[in-house]
Amino acid sequence: MLKGNAVIGQSGGPTTVINASLSGVIDRCLQAEPIANVYGMRYGIEGFMSGNLINLGREDKAVLQSLRYAPSSALGSCRHKLQQADFGPVLEMLKKHHIRYFFLIGGNDTMDTIHRVENYCREKGYELTGVGIPKTVDNDLFGTDHTPGFGSAGRYVALSVKQAGMLARDMKYVDQYVIFQTVGRSAGWLPASSALAKTAEDDAPHIILMPERPFERDKFLADVQSCYERYGWSSIVCGEGICYADGTPVSASTTADKFSNVEFGAMGGTSAALMLHRMIKETFGWRGEFQVCESLQMAAADRTSPLDLEEAYACGRRAVELALEGRSGVMVSIVRESNDPYRWSLGTAPLAEVALGEKPMPDEYITPEGSFVTPACIEYLKPLVGPLPEYARLKGQVVLNDE
């Protein structure tokens, strides 16, 4: 068993439970005899290369306990893609601080970082154990049933669409449509989670647009008109990454990040929701609104799913246990054992496979017409998002002329 120090970092966008995973890593490291100190990277691998480290073992115990429930990324984050010239400085820092255990919490780009650092160290004869902890609100990470962070973000989306849908229904003589945009570059898991808001036929959402299906303008407008004719209004939920059949983003964004991923929302200069809003307004002349919450879906601690919190913490602890067992080059994964009752366990997935793979929604989770989800998808989502509140709705008994 290797003896030395451990380092933990956070990468990419935050989730409401990413600090629960961090807390799990810290707690287990502090209990591990082979690990002398546990350090935190300030601002991910980019901060690590510049020597920006803190000693997490010297933090106040009460702060470490409450960290488990804090939103955002406590250590700070980055979106740095490792270049060949970076590996030397990374190894230098590992040696300088006698780091033998290397942990990162993030998505597939983060898993690629761990994988490449571990391989480089092996080539240079430096013993390093690297283990990844999954994180992404998009739920598109390969090798795991779902990712910590998704359940809480899905809960945020479902509650927002439910509440905004009630408002839109009651204001339909003023505004005839409402569009809610979720994050999600290439997977429709978050927009799909909005379906949990629906308990009656006319409840929001009516139309769900997912990146797994090409956007068809004429079909979309026909669906919107059909909803208006049936309900007097329309609720639309879209993923930020929806594209036309030729791959052109509906958002018309051309800006890319360091990993060559298209940037949507503010960085792209527009949004899919805004473009859909314009289409409806220009076609029908109706009033309506669009809602683009961006990072609120990633940091709303008041809407955290209890299960999500529990699994995130467990993933952090398990990562350390795997490292102590000598398991390297893997990511902790969540295994779903049953839906009802929901049961889960923890497994592993090879970093090399996670780094290269993606997990879009399967076909059986999307209706044939491509604008809503199937009962199988609802069953998958329910335990992760948790029960939603039921709100009062008037029966609407019409007063007769002779009353």
pLDDT of residue 12: 92
Beta sheet of 35-41, edge-to-edge order = 53-55, 35-41, 4-10, 99-106, 129-134, 330-339, 342-350
| Residue 60 known to be catalytic | no
pLDDT digits (tens, 9 = 90+) for 32-51: 999 999 999 999 999 999 99
292/325 same-domain check: no
54 domain residue, yes or no: yes
DSSP-based three-state secondary structure for 305: coil
399 domain residue, yes or no: no
Helices (H) and strands (E) in the chain, counts: 13, 11
179/42 same-domain check: no
H/E stretch holding 347 reads strand 342-350
DSSP character at residue 245: T
Beta sheet of 177-182, edge-to-edge order = 207-209, 234-239, 177-182, 288-292
403 domain residue, yes or no: no
At 20, list the tokens.
């629960």
Residues (pLDDT < 50) of the chain are 254, 265-268
pLDDT of residue 185: 82
| CATH, residue 62 | 3.40.50.450
Beta partners for 330?
Answer: 131, 350
| CATH, residue 158 | 3.40.50.460
pLDDT of residue 356: 82
87/220 same-domain check: no
pLDDT of residue 270: 74
234/316 same-domain check: no
Q: How many domains does the chain have?
A: 2
17 domain residue, yes or no: yes
391 domain residue, yes or no: no
13/159 same-domain check: no
254/206 same-domain check: yes
115/263 same-domain check: no
pLDDT of residue 260: 55
327 domain residue, yes or no: yes
238/288 same-domain check: yes
308/291 same-domain check: no
17/128 same-domain check: yes
pLDDT of residue 262: 53
Q: Do residues 75 and 8 make contact, with C-beta atoms less than 8 angstroms apart?
A: yes
Decide the pairing of beta strands 207-209 and 288-292. Answer: unpaired
Which of 27, 86, 112, 138 is catalytic? The answer is 138
Q: Give residue 208's domain range.
A: 154-300+360-385
371 domain residue, yes or no: yes
The pTM score is: 0.93
pLDDT of residue 268: 46
> Cα(first)–Cα(last) distance of the chain, in Å?
84
371/262 same-domain check: yes
169 domain residue, yes or no: yes
Query: What type of residue sits at position 146?
Result: H
48/73 same-domain check: yes
